[in-house]
Amino acid sequence: MTDPTRIQPSELDQLPDRDPEETAEWQASLDAVTEAAGPHRAAYLMRRTLERAEGNGLALPELLETDYLNTIPTAAEPEIDGDPEMEARVTAWNRWNAAAMVTRGSKHGVGGHIATFASAAWLYETGFNHFFHGKERDGSGDQIYVQGHASPGIYARAFLDGRLTEEHLDHFRQEASGKGLPSYPHPRRLPWLWEFPTVSMGLGPLSAIYQARFNRYLTSRGIKDLSNAHVWAFLGDGEMDEPESTAALTLAAREGLDNLTFVINCNLQRLDGPVRANFKIVQELEAEFRGAGWNVVKTLWGSAWDELFRLDTTGALVRRLREVPDAQFQTYQTRDVAYIREHFFGAEPALAELGKLLSDDKILECFKTSRGGHEPRKVYAAYRAALSHEGRPTVILAQTVKGYTLGKGFESKNANHQMKKLTVDEFKDMRDLLGLPIPDSAFVDGQVPYGHPGADSPEVRYLHERRAALGGLAPARRTQPLAPLPAPADKVFAAFDKGSGTQPVATTMAFVRLVKDLIRDKETGKRWVPIVPDEARTFGMESLFPSLGIYSPKGQTYEPVDRDQLMYYREAKNGQILNEGITEAGSMADFIAAATSYATHGEQMIPFYIFYSMFGWQRTGDQMWQLGDQLGRGFLVGATAGRTTLTGEGLQHADGHSPAIAATNPAALTYDPAFAYEIAAIVKDGLRRMYGETRADEDPNVFYYLTVYNEPMPQPAKPEGVEEGILKGLYRFNTAETAGLSLGEKAPRAQLLASGTAIHWVLKAQKMLAEEWGVAADVWSATSWGELRRDAMEADEALLRGEERVPYVTRALSGAPGPVVAVSDYMRQVPDQIAQWVEQDWTSLGADGFGISDTRDAARRYFGVDAESVVVATLAQLARRGLVKPAAVKEARERYGL
């Protein structure tokens, strides 16, 4: 047996060394440098050699970290193609008004954030002046994801360009009057300005990646050429801790999304303190992004540092910058020069000697304010580098000072995220620093004034000239007048009206069949965007693979293992299906991009995203709120829905609550259809409302959440005259008499309401009640408890205005004899949404608690929602009213083993 301690390093290499002597010479050279010049010099040479190898395209693993320096040397920075002095004046006004707006608003106790934009002002202004394309050219422009806490700076710029007034600014975070500005980027609240809601941290970067990817998808499919559109995402270094922020980095690199740039404002601070107190967030992010395959551009140091780096002939300064943790560097920014000389330059003799060459003023300038993110020339160079880089997305790590220009009370303070105002004296200091012509007399009664150079001033003219050259003002959201999409042929939907006879069909399969037929439509078929998170076969969608193809920017570079089969796995550059793998978050980001394409690109797309219902609203509910906030349209489909229909999977897969969560979102229309014809009617009307001839009293900016089931059941034919009830949420499916269970007028009666798959248990209970207990029950299909509640609440609101209106559910059940028993495969809270508007005695059954693993029958008995439980609950209600004998309830429990 070989002694592992005797193995030579060369023997550990699995590749044969064709020239061991040459290898030994290289290794000896490294040893010699280390011995003669020290390990730092040896490390420097190795790093430069690896960088050269990388630049020459040699197949070596990339360095995950580079020195704590700017990626672009000062000598390589391009000249700015504009007027830097004019841009500085524009930026000064925007800084001032952003701070003034938040400070003035603080008197009303509404809060606001000052420090974020103060640190990032040049990151935005450089983009607005030179890079961000507006929508006036092609209707799309660039997509700009603004960091939520920087919104005051964007409002300040919109004030300068004439889109907002002082009255608007004075109603920051005061929206009830109808004149106000929302706190953060909210398209639903300010739909002409904001495109993307971003302040739920982590969703901005994730959505930006999938927006860039969706742009490529639209181009590849020939819907719209977006090869010139660029996606910019402005993020905070603290925000990158959110898992969604980095969840899709490898996707962006794998698909070569060089139409995407992340700009991370590395002010080293999050809400409570340092982002990485004992470490270096820039280096950590560089390693993470480079490891994921991104191009990384670091913009850390301002021009004041150039002299220091020229004097650093030993590399001591670069080593010290690399080793000092972020929290200590923040401390340097707040201490005097003596402290910096002692604690930074005193770390080793070479640094101390370098420090002697520097004046106190130079040291203070470097350590307190000179950051790459505060110098437009360096930001401009980084943006140019990002746009010129091909084949990979770029992340720009721009170091800044949080609270920059706001004065000593703000800059680099741990608490500055919660600091909402400046004093008058602090504003005067800021005015002097920025060189703004605002006289002391403008401060009336301690109120800070807004500043504006005038609509015809050189600054405003310059701003408009720059934006005109780039395609119009930005950010801007524009909903272009779009022609309604033609309605698909009625026969597509009518095909479900006749039912399936005796053939069992799951509603999941019915929905997939409907969509397959709709995608064949010559007019609108290409606008469907099927989205699935690696569960297409679970939902019976594999038949779409060969016909539609799965989108891949590389096409199919391999022969699929199932190529000889009819439903083989086909990828294509123009594929229509987005199969995202195991990522509900990525699939929702896809959905949002497609659902808002009508506004972003002027192209109406019809996304449907099908997923395990348990992993929808529970797992990605934040993104569904983002979807509503962004005014998205489309169909979310919770498949394998319900707590008892997914046999054997158990607790983590058994959804008993998604309709309850969905009901909290005002933009979500939630349906729990029982039958195939109901699905057809709902989808047909959804297409009309969102994409076709919307009625004047309807909002098209909604999305549908449909729950569908994997339990095969015979699908009945559509009864006459039920269309209105299907859409409003309730209709009588049958009576005891129409079900062939006539018992005469004197028989006790009850009303059984059920949604989704529960209607099959209720139909069984209807028969048992008639045949075993002499009770006549009518069965109602409750397609949407949520829409019934929405209508009833609107009726209540109308009553407050003096308008008499009876809720639909009250009218529908009016005069129906007997108590109401409501059943669903969800927690009782779902049907209980409508209880207060039902005049009859009310009781409900539901699957409350955690899910379990068992057969469907056993699970339904466990939760007390099976047909036998419905019978007992109905008899109990009738017994309370004296319509059946109490003994019947006990007898039924014993007979059914309850």
- 395 with 258: CB under 8 angstroms? no
- 592 with 207: CB under 8 angstroms? yes
Residues in contact with 738: Cβ distance below 8 Å, sequence separation at least 6, in sequence order: none
Q: What is the mean pLDDT of residues 106-119?
A: 87
Q: Has residue 416 got a pLDDT over 50?
A: no
Show the tokens assigned to 69.
């320096």
Q: Has residue 462 got a pLDDT over 50?
A: yes
How confident is the model at residue 6, as a pLDDT?
55
- 536 with 545: CB under 8 angstroms? yes
- 193 with 162: CB under 8 angstroms? no
Nearest residue to 711 via CA among 614, 641, 783, 785:
641
How confident is the model at residue 103, as a pLDDT?
92
Q: Has residue 58 got a pLDDT over 90?
A: no
Task: Compute the distance between CA of residue 893 and CA of residue 781 in angstroms, rounded to an integer.
Answer: 26
Q: What is the pTM of this model?
A: 0.94
pLDDT tens for 239-287 read: 999 999 999 999 999 999 999 999 999 999 887 889 999 999 999 999 9
12-16, 415-419, 708-712, 779-783: segment of lowest average pLDDT: 415-419
Residues in contact with 867: Cβ distance below 8 Å, sequence separation at least 6, in sequence order: 761, 762, 764, 765, 768
How confident is the model at residue 166, as a pLDDT?
96
Q: How confident is the model at residue 50 (pLDDT cuts 50, 70, 90)?
A: confident
pLDDT tens for 346-386 read: 999 999 999 999 999 999 999 999 999 999 999 999 999 99
Q: What is the mean pLDDT of residues 765-780?
A: 97
State which H helix or E strand residue 617 sits in. Answer: helix 617-629
pLDDT tens for 558-611 read: 999 988 888 889 999 999 999 998 999 999 999 999 999 999 999 999 999 999
Task: Compute the distance between CA of residue 28 and CA of residue 46 in angstroms, rounded to an integer.
Answer: 13
Sign for the CA dihedral angle at 834, 835, 841, 845 comes to positive
How confident is the model at residue 19, as a pLDDT?
86
Nearest residue to 873 via CA among 777, 786, 731:
777
Nearest residue to 769 via CA among 748, 790, 785:
748
Q: What is the mean pLDDT of residues 508-531?
A: 95
How confident is the model at residue 481, as a pLDDT?
82
Task: Compute the distance between CA of residue 734 and CA of residue 830 in angstroms, rounded to an integer.
Answer: 23
* Secondary structure tally for the chain: helices H, strands E: 34, 20
- 267 with 400: CB under 8 angstroms? yes
Which of helix, strand or coil describes residue 189? coil
Task: Compute the distance between CA of residue 448 and CA of residue 400 in angstroms, rounded to an integer.
Answer: 26
Q: Has residue 14 got a pLDDT over 60?
A: no
Show the tokens assigned to 442.
């403008």
Q: Has residue 16 got a pLDDT over 80?
A: no
Task: Compute the distance between CA of residue 114 and CA of residue 102 in angstroms, rounded to an integer.
Answer: 7
Q: Has residue 876 got a pLDDT over 90?
A: yes
Q: What is the mean pLDDT of residues 763-777?
A: 96
How confident is the model at residue 534, as a pLDDT?
83
How confident is the model at residue 388, as a pLDDT?
97
Furthest-apart CA atoms within the chain: distance in Å: 109
How confident is the model at residue 413, as a pLDDT?
52
Nearest residue to 366 via CA among 341, 346, 342, 396:
341
Q: What is the mean pLDDT of residues 324-336?
A: 92
Q: What is the mean pLDDT of residues 301-310?
A: 95
Q: What is the mean pLDDT of residues 78-85?
A: 94
Q: What is the mean pLDDT of residues 201-221?
A: 97
- 837 with 831: CB under 8 angstroms? no
Nearest residue to 140 via CA among 529, 475, 576:
475
First to last CA, the chain: 69
Q: Quote the DSSP letter at residue 239.
A: G
Q: How confident is the model at residue 15 (pLDDT cuts 50, 70, 90)?
A: low
- 855 with 647: CB under 8 angstroms? yes
| Mean pLDDT, the chain, integer | 92
Task: Compute the distance between CA of residue 702 and CA of residue 222 in angstroms, rounded to an integer.
Answer: 27
How confident is the model at residue 650, as a pLDDT?
79
Which of helix, strand or coil describes residue 706? strand
- 142 with 473: CB under 8 angstroms? no
- 275 with 237: CB under 8 angstroms? yes
How confident is the model at residue 485, as a pLDDT?
94
Q: How confident is the model at residue 316 (pLDDT cuts 50, 70, 90)?
A: very high
Task: Compute the distance between CA of residue 547 and CA of residue 619 in angstroms, rounded to an integer.
Answer: 31
More confident residue, 315 or 129: 129
pLDDT tens for 232-244 read: 999 999 999 999 9
Q: What is the mean pLDDT of residues 514-528?
A: 95
How many Cβ atoms sit within 10 Å of the Cβ of residue 392? 20
How confident is the model at residue 12, as a pLDDT?
45
Q: What's the angle, vertex CA 659, arms to CA 658 and CA 660, rounded to 5?
A: 90
Task: Compute the distance between CA of residue 804 and CA of residue 464 in angstroms, rounded to an integer.
Answer: 52
Percent of the chain with pLDDT over 90: 80
- 764 with 830: CB under 8 angstroms? no
Q: Has residue 408 got a pLDDT over 80?
A: no
Task: Compute the distance between CA of residue 897 and CA of residue 858 in angstroms, rounded to an integer.
Answer: 12
Task: Compute the distance between CA of residue 277 and CA of residue 285 in angstroms, rounded to an integer.
Answer: 15
Q: What's the angle, vertex CA 533, arms to CA 531 and CA 539, rounded to 5?
A: 80
Task: Compute the distance between CA of residue 550 and CA of residue 556 in angstroms, rounded to an integer.
Answer: 9
Task: Compute the distance between CA of residue 325 and CA of residue 338 in angstroms, rounded to an integer.
Answer: 19
Q: Has residue 745 got a pLDDT over 90?
A: no
Q: Has residue 60 got a pLDDT over 80?
A: no
Cis peptide before 20 (omega within 30 of 0): no
Q: Has residue 414 got a pLDDT over 60?
A: no
